[in-house]
Amino acid sequence: MGTKTIGVKDDTYERLKGRKRDDESFTDLVERLLEETTADWRAGFGTLDEDAADALEETVQESRDRTSAGLAARQRTAIEELADASEPEDPDETA
């Protein structure tokens, strides 16, 4: 296996040196740090166990139901108000 020389700023080198263990080379340090870091945050994104997924689905459905009920109630109120506004005040009055 070959090696590569990389350049880092002095402050970065000092930070790496501070994290390096006594029995580690800089290569070992970099490998350890890379292993500790999740390379792709999306790798575990969206994975829920079945119970958590079911609970989330139930919560979403309840929220949708409440939203729909609220919208329906506001729509009924608006229709009633429009109907009341279009009725003549005098019942004997014809349009």
For 27-72, how does the pLDDT look when each residue is reduced to its tens digit (9 = 90+)? 999 999 988 876 676 776 777 888 988 999 999 999 999 999 999 9
Three-state SS sequence of 54-94:
HHHHHHHHHHHHHHHHHHHHHHHHHHHHHHHHHCCCCCCCC
User: What per-residue string of b and e applies to 33-71 under the rule 16 or more CB within 10 Å gives b?
Assistant: eeeeeeeeeeeeeeeeeeeeeeeeeeeeeeeeeeeeeee
d(CA 4, CA 11) in angstroms, rounded, equals 20
- Supply the pLDDT for residue 71: 92
Question: What average pLDDT score do residues 13-35 get?
Answer: 94
- Indicate the domain borders of the chain: 49-86
Confidence (pLDDT) at 87? 78
Two structure tokens written together for 76: 């009924």
